[in-house]
Structure 1
Amino acid sequence: MEEGKFLGVIVTNGGFKANPEKIEVVMNMPSLKTIKQFRWTVEVKTVFQEINLRLEELPTLIASKTKELQVIYLAASDRAISAVVLVDRDSVQTPIYYVSRILADAETRYSTLENLVLSLV
């Protein structure tokens, strides 16, 4: 099989990519109409449309090859941590794995360095 759905993503022989059906829900989300919902300005509408376009261009997760150099980027803030593992193919950094999460209450009191280590773990 060349392509199929598995656990909400599209699996191909080249890697994993976002399920267009899931992206379509956001793409077709109607503009907000009342003040209670949001202050919907032309600028906000433009940004919303830009986000939708970016969703269509999400990178495909690929499988790592044997002895391929991997790069890891870590990020930490006072509320969340994340990490992404990339490989360099054809001068383009392509993700093979990523994870992010919101910090638990006690973890919000860690130093930034401690949170970076936590994201590595």
Structure 2
Amino acid sequence: MVVKSSTVSAHAQDLTEVFQALWHHQMRLNLEKCVFGVSGGKFLGFMLSSRGIEANPDKCQAILDMKSPSTLKEVQKLAGRLTSLSRFLPCLAEIARPILLLLKKVKRFIWTPKCEASFQQFKERLGAPPILSKPVVDLDMIVYLAVSSTSISAVLIQEKQDEQHLVYGLPHVIITDNGRQFIDRKFERFLQELDVQHHVTSVEHPQANGQAEAANKVLLHELKKRLGSAKGLWAEELPNIL
């Protein structure tokens, strides 16, 4: 959770409002994991600053330093790194299509000129990735759609001082499993106050949840083996092992 304000006085008011909401819903914070009065920093693999949400420069540099993949394993690593930066790569699915096709079972690995062109295009964009700005209430929102025969991409834009800026916002819908923490009444009331819809997976087939949990345990076990020494850095290191 991040509380961001435009001024110091407003920040104190915003924190008071957040603490009151937490107290109202009987939620607690771990003080050892709380940081106050910072101008920016990493959060869930992203960089937060006064300008907005920025791409993690370490993740961008990891792709910029990559050589053209020569094996399927290297393509998998590239795909994972691109996915972690998907919010800063418009039309990701369409541009990456030649590369992603290599992930399908093929008899022989071939890195084609189309793959190389896509790879270089990503490098060019990550050299100066866009910044996701906070939306301004009084400004119109512009939705750009890019539609092809294989994918659909969308982006939210606001125009400020004759410049277009990517914006972020609160999700209208979140999707979770049937975990107790997600079906709790306090959590539901919290989402209702924010006008966020809550959709639960496997509503019609709850028996599938057990199968999903079993599969998740296997995945979690393997991830812990590979990321055991990267405590607190899962968001940064996860794309490297996918």
Quickly name the TM-score band, shorter chain normalised: 0.5 to 0.7
Q: Given the alignment of the two structures, is residue 8 of structure 1 paired with residue 81 of structure 2, yes or no?
A: no
What is the letter of the counterpart of residue 111 of structure 2?
A: F
TM-score by length of 2: 0.34
- Cross-structure match for 1:29: 66
Indicate conservation of the 8 Å contact 1:17/1:61, yes or no.
yes
Residue-by-residue CA offset, 1:84-103 (whole Å, 9 max, x unaligned): 110111211111049xxxxx
- Cross-structure match for 1:84: 155
* CA pair 33-86 structure 1, distance change in 2 beyond 3 A: closer
Aligned residues: 96
Greater than 4 Å deviation, 4+ residue runs: 32-37, 44-50
- Work out which structure has the larger RCO, using CA pairs closer than 8 Å and 6 or more positions apart in sequence: 1
- Cross-structure match for 2:129: 58
Shift of 1:54: 2.1
Which structure: greater strand fraction?
1
TM-score by length of 1: 0.62
What is the letter of the counterpart of residue 79 of structure 1?
A: T
- Cross-structure match for 2:139: 68
What is the letter of the counterpart of residue 82 of structure 1?
A: S
Query: Aligned-residue CA RMSD in angstroms?
Result: 2.9
Which structure: greater helix fraction?
2
Residue-by-residue CA offset, 1:48-92 (whole Å, 9 max, x unaligned): 555423212111000012211211112222322221110111211
Q: Equivalents in 1 of 2:126, 2:46: separation in Å?
A: 14
What is the letter of the counterpart of residue 95 of structure 1?
A: L
- Cross-structure match for 1:38: 111
Q: Equivalents in 1 of 2:153, 2:111: separation in Å?
A: 29
Shift of 1:45: 6.8
* CA pair 52-87 structure 1, distance change in 2 beyond 3 A: same
Shift of 1:31: 3.8
Q: Equivalents in 2 of 1:17, 1:51: separation in Å?
A: 16
Structure 1 gap segments, 5+ residues each: 99-121
Q: Equivalents in 1 of 2:126, 2:136: separation in Å?
A: 27
Structure 2 gap segments, 5+ residues each: 1-37, 72-107, 170-242
* CA pair 30-93 structure 1, distance change in 2 beyond 3 A: same
Q: Which has the larger radius of gyration?
A: 2
